[in-house]
Structure 1
Amino acid sequence: MNESNGFQAIAGREKGLRQQLTSAQMSMIAIGGAIGTGLFMGSTFAIGFAGPSVLISYAIGALITLLLMGCLAEMTVAHPTSGSFGAYAEFYVSPLAGFLVRYAYWAAIVLAVGTEVTAVALYMKFWFPQVAEWVWILSFSAGLVLINAISVKTFGRFEYWFSAIKISAIVGFILLGAYLVFGVSGNGYGVHLYSAHGGFFPNGIHGMWIAVIVSIFSYLSVEMIAVAAGEAEDPQRAVKQAFRATLVRLVVFYLLTLALILAIVPWNTAGTGTQSPFVTVMQETGIPGATGLLNFVILVAAVSAMNSQLYTTTRMMFSLSRAGHAPKAMGRLSQNGVPLNALMLSCVGIALATLVNLIYPKESFTLMMAVSMFGALFAWMMIFLTHYRFRRYHERNGGLQLSFRMRLFPWTTLLGLGLMLAILVTTAFTEVFRMTLVFGVPFLVVLVVAYQFGLRKRSAAGEVALEPSSR
């Protein structure tokens, strides 16, 4: 089977989705997906682990993310499809790899939806402390499911404006923070706080490295640009444009905001408690109404990330169904081209979040984050491996003329793969993230068994599985 016929057969299974996302929407979706609870809430845990050295942690996370975006952009420009990196793994690595990547990633993002909706409930307590959190979980979930159910164009419009609010707020926060640190003297703010309270590495190199895990959780969802490419009006142009925008904005938004936070609030204050360090900074300024305004922005960020994650999980389940790895009903489309059944199934994360929040109200966010990490880390690691196989395949077979290339191959790809493997292994030696492998490894074993059983069942039924190319 040659590459052209082989991958076209995979992409052809996913026909029917509407290509209605504009380049502007794709760019905002790319950066907006990465600005959510991971930055606004997860940074609290990262600062607590690393102290001021969290800046190095997020720089390492940014490096991995940019390497990942480069690999993913190259493959997506060549093959824009909603199955994305799951479909690429199926063809360039093996059908089993495609199955594992799709399901592991789907499970991760479904649980990530749970962390976002849990965070939404926490943020609403700022204004309504007496209202039970599950009320907000169900209310916001219903609204976002409706947005995703109408059409991809509706999703794109809402996500564009959600992202615009987040980006505008972060720019405003940076300007305000810079003024407080560099424009006003005698307030005690400044970079000298980086070395106070235990120094730049108060918890050693170990603490800095643990915070890298949180940074990856924060950057999670940048990869959804590759999934959305299957419904873009001009996927090649949109992916290239989104990749370039992400390069600059990720570094500026994450590293600059964290640097300013740590120059205003001592790390041992910003890294404790249940509220976002952004809110802590605004409380420090004493500006009337500023805390409430920022809490609203953080709420929008969580709602936006949840909206994006519902979209991504829906398309991944749709891809699994069209590949024969999930019930056929999950691959059916509404009149507006939306896989509604897959959307409903992807709401399982909301139900889990509600249950966990009722049983473990104080630990719900960290528990959901730890469990959801495995699929995300595994999927990112497999993207690097798939890109290595993708490039080697085309070098040997003289296939596609690639209009976008990852620089310094294979070293950049192998660096990303090695760092992701190291992070995944590190979770086993941390108390907070130990559940990542405790949940993830058995889950992966179950998936392998399910795949083998399903393969035998399809073979017995006389169905011919799509075989990978010889490599």
Structure 2
Amino acid sequence: MGDDTTKLHRSLSAGQLSMIAIGGAIGTGLFLGSGFAISTAGPSVLVSYLIGGVISLLLMGALAEMTVADPAAGSFGVFADRYLGPLGGYVIRYAYLAGIILAVGTEVTAIAIYMKFWWPAVPGLYWILGFSAALIAVNAFDVRVFGSVEYVLSLIKIVAIVGFILLGAWWVFGSSPLPGAGLQNYTADGGFFPHGLGGMWVAVIIAIFSYFSIEMIAVAAGEAADPERAIVQAFKATIARLLVFYIATIALMLAIVPWARAGEGGSPFIIVMAASGWPAAAGVVNLVILIAALSAMNSQLYVASRMLFGLAEAGHAPRALARVSRAGVPRRALAVTSLGIACAVAVYAARPETAFTLMISVATCGAMVTWMLIFVTHVAYRRKHQPEPGRFRMPGGQWTSLLGAVLMAAILITTAFTEAFRMTLVVGVPCFAVLLLIWWLRQRLRRGGVAE
């Protein structure tokens, strides 16, 4: 079917909205990135993820307040347009689009790593191209198809994480704990802060990247069947699940195996399951990790296409990208956002051994700038509006959002002094300079009366 309308369909339920956010936020950041965070911070990585969780909670509250008042397609991009001005809307949309597109590349790069567990001789590019084609097809159908597929994928990994938490608790606190397992592992090798407060703070970068995508609920609100009720329910459920899943799973991993071993490379989940002595455990966990990456990539493709759709609607991208199919899917925008996969293919082909960490480093800049600007937008929103009686209100109002913006700025600056994330600003600053140059040139053309 051709593209013949400009309206998205309101077909997503509260459960599907929550699963979309869970799908995006529980992926490679937890299952693979947590290993790097543990090696950086040691047991104090729990504090790192708790700090990231608090920032996420503040962000979700700010978004919920604005989104309930106006569940528009494009979400925080629209809000930034209104309360920060056209330049603010332009920057936040492109920052988020870049972050999400590169996050898609991160997930698909991780998929190539996971598949090597079973078929080490098969080139990773085959897996990248095959799985990418399948997920692009899922996103090209009716949004209800996407919502159903994402619900199932997210449900599988949620069940698996709950199972891991129960099993891990039994291994640590049960009547027959695993040899060497116990809370003593938190302080046995260099103490709780083996790399000092600096190591703990650097790991917050990974924590933020791990939680990145929870804001997908706000973007998907434009396709919610009952926006106000669905958004509030989905926000509350998502943040509660994320905090429990991340903190509980990492706490148990650190109690089961020493932190130096959990962070020695690869997924710490597989390392923990290998320590259990169960022959098939590592393979089962690798399958769950693969599903988690596919789920995250599926959600990110969805949200990236909707954000590009919002950019086109606002006049910041070609108008043709604001067209949707009869099924309500912006297929042209989806095709363009698939460029993240092309980027992953190029990086993986050039540097297969370091492609994953490089993709995370570059994707982090867009994610952090987006979150910082969401907080700034909420501060500007609160200066002009107060929530209507009976509607969701962010506790602390603009002051908690101001705190969130300061914390995000501090974390972004930290990347410049961290070897693993040095490319975050090295790539990010020139890209934003180009974005601003394009904006300036367009404004001059408009003022000069030159048709675009």
Displacement of 1:31 after TM fit?
2.3
SS of the equivalent of 2:420 reads: coil
Which residue of structure 2 lines up, in the alignment, with residue 347 of structure 1?
A: 338
SS of the equivalent of 1:433 reads: helix
Which residue of structure 1 lines up, in the alignment, with residue 209 of structure 2?
A: 217
Which residue of structure 2 lines up, in the alignment, with residue 42 of structure 1?
A: 33
Which residue of structure 1 lines up, in the alignment, with residue 234 of structure 2?
A: 242
In structure 2, C-alpha distance between the alignment counterparts of 1:85 and 1:408, rounded to whole Å: 20
Which residue of structure 1 lines up, in the alignment, with residue 222 of structure 2?
A: 230
Which residue of structure 2 lines up, in the alignment, with residue 313 of structure 1?
A: 304
Q: Does 1:449 align with 2:420?
A: no
1:430-469 counterparts in 2 under 5 A?
Answer: 430-461=418-449
Q: Does 1:124 align with 2:115?
A: yes
In structure 2, C-alpha distance between the alignment counterparts of 1:449 and 1:226, rounded to whole Å: 29
Displacement of 1:247 after TM fit?
2.9
Provide, for residues 104-162 of structure 1, a one-character-per-residue CA deviation record: whole Å limited to 9, x for no partner. 11011101100000001111111111100000000000000000001211110011001
With normalisation by structure 1, the TM-score equals 0.92
1:406 to 394, 403, 406: 394
Which residue of structure 1 lines up, in the alignment, with residue 58 of structure 2?
A: 67
In structure 2, C-alpha distance between the alignment counterparts of 1:102 and 1:247, rounded to whole Å: 23
Letter in 1 for 2:198: H
In structure 2, C-alpha distance between the alignment counterparts of 1:123 and 1:139, rounded to whole Å: 14
Which residue of structure 2 lines up, in the alignment, with residue 291 of structure 1?
A: 282
In structure 1, C-alpha distance between the alignment counterparts of 2:355 and 2:320, rounded to whole Å: 32
Which residue of structure 1 lines up, in the alignment, with residue 325 of structure 2?
A: 334
Displacement of 1:15 after TM fit?
5.3
In structure 2, C-alpha distance between the alignment counterparts of 1:186 and 1:457, rounded to whole Å: 69
Displacement of 1:463 after TM fit?
8.6
Which residue of structure 2 lines up, in the alignment, with residue 467 of structure 1?
A: none
Displacement of 1:32 after TM fit?
2.7
In structure 1, C-alpha distance between the alignment counterparts of 2:276 and 2:389, rounded to whole Å: 54
Which residue of structure 2 lines up, in the alignment, with residue 380 of structure 1?
A: 371
Greater mean deviation of Cα atoms: 16-25 or 406-415:
406-415
SS of the equivalent of 1:227 reads: helix
1:77-116 counterparts in 2 under 5 A?
Answer: 77-116=68-107
Displacement of 1:185 after TM fit?
4.0
Displacement of 1:72 after TM fit?
0.6
Provide, for residues 260-288 of structure 1, a one-character-per-residue CA deviation record: whole Å limited to 9, x for no partner. 00001111111112x21011111010123
Displacement of 1:402 after TM fit?
6.8
1:268-307 counterparts in 2 under 5 A?
Answer: 268-273=260-265, 275-307=266-298
Q: CA RMSD in A?
A: 1.6
Q: Does 1:423 align with 2:415?
A: no
In structure 2, C-alpha distance between the alignment counterparts of 1:392 and 1:456, rounded to whole Å: 31
In structure 1, C-alpha distance between the alignment counterparts of 2:284 and 2:252, rounded to whole Å: 19
Letter in 2 for 1:208: M
Displacement of 1:226 after TM fit?
0.3
In structure 2, C-alpha distance between the alignment counterparts of 1:453 and 1:400, rounded to whole Å: 40
In structure 1, C-alpha distance between the alignment counterparts of 2:43 and 2:177, rounded to whole Å: 22
Distance 1:285 1:186, change over 3 A: closer
Letter in 1 for 2:56: T
Q: Does 1:255 align with 2:247?
A: yes
Which residue of structure 1 lines up, in the alignment, with residue 148 of structure 2?
A: 157
1:267 to 249, 252, 259: 259
In structure 1, C-alpha distance between the alignment counterparts of 2:91 and 2:388, rounded to whole Å: 26
Which residue of structure 2 lines up, in the alignment, with residue 57 of structure 1?
A: 48
Displacement of 1:459 after TM fit?
4.0
Q: Does 1:30 align with 2:18?
A: no
Displacement of 1:364 after TM fit?
0.4
Letter in 2 for 1:413: S
Displacement of 1:411 after TM fit?
2.5
8 Å Cα contact 2:73/2:223 also seen in 1: yes
8 Å Cα contact 1:74/1:402 also seen in 2: no
Letter in 2 for 1:49: T
Displacement of 1:362 after TM fit?
0.9
8 Å Cα contact 1:148/1:310 also seen in 2: yes
Displacement of 1:401 after TM fit?
5.3
Displacement of 1:409 after TM fit?
2.0
In structure 1, C-alpha distance between the alignment counterparts of 2:333 and 2:75, rounded to whole Å: 17
In structure 2, C-alpha distance between the alignment counterparts of 1:401 and 1:454, rounded to whole Å: 42
In structure 2, C-alpha distance between the alignment counterparts of 1:238 and 1:459, rounded to whole Å: 42
In structure 1, C-alpha distance between the alignment counterparts of 2:449 and 2:11, rounded to whole Å: 37
Letter in 2 for 1:97: G
8 Å Cα contact 1:310/1:343 also seen in 2: yes
Greater mean deviation of Cα atoms: 159-168 or 407-416:
407-416
SS of the equivalent of 1:337 reads: coil
Distance 1:186 1:61, change over 3 A: closer
1:136 to 127, 149, 163: 127
Q: Does 1:191 align with 2:187?
A: no
In structure 1, C-alpha distance between the alignment counterparts of 2:361 and 2:119, rounded to whole Å: 28
Provide, for residues 421-464 of structure 1, a one-character-per-residue CA deviation record: whole Å limited to 9, x for no partner. 11011111111111111111111111111112122333444899
Displacement of 1:34 after TM fit?
1.2
Letter in 1 for 2:104: V
Letter in 2 for 1:312: V
Greater mean deviation of Cα atoms: 402-411 or 164-173:
402-411
8 Å Cα contact 2:77/2:93 also seen in 1: yes
Distance 1:185 1:127, change over 3 A: closer
